[in-house]
Amino acid sequence: MIILIVSFCKFAFSDEQQIIDMGDIEYGEYLGAECASCHHQSGASEGIPSIHGMDAEVFVALMLAYRSKDMENPVMQMIAGRLNDEQIGSLALYFSGLETPN
């Protein structure tokens, strides 16, 4: 799924980048605290992946897919469903700037 979205990104590059450009990293840090209740910094086994250090465009593409319910998971659909573009861009900026798990 992620690979498909990454390749999709190449064609839709400007949309994701426009959303990232709307972001504010300090806002992303605040909003990102909600993600940290479930997404462990060190990455996870099978259930919940790490999002630390995730590429910003991939992050935006995934959140848009959850927001439009093209990707399944009721928790993520709920979380993404109430985020506007500025908030998604802020989160993408914040998480892409963190170290990836070892």
Residues 54-93 that bind another protein (CB under 8 A): 74-75, 77-79, 81-82
Out of 13, 21, 36, 68, the residue judged to bind another protein by CB under 8 A: 36
Q: For residue 2, state whether it binds another protein (rule: CB under 8 A).
A: no
Contacts of 90 (CB under 8 A, 6+ apart): 22, 23, 24, 25, 27, 28, 31
List interacting residues with another protein (CB under 8 A): 26-27, 29-31, 33-34, 36-42, 44-48, 74-75, 77-79, 81-82
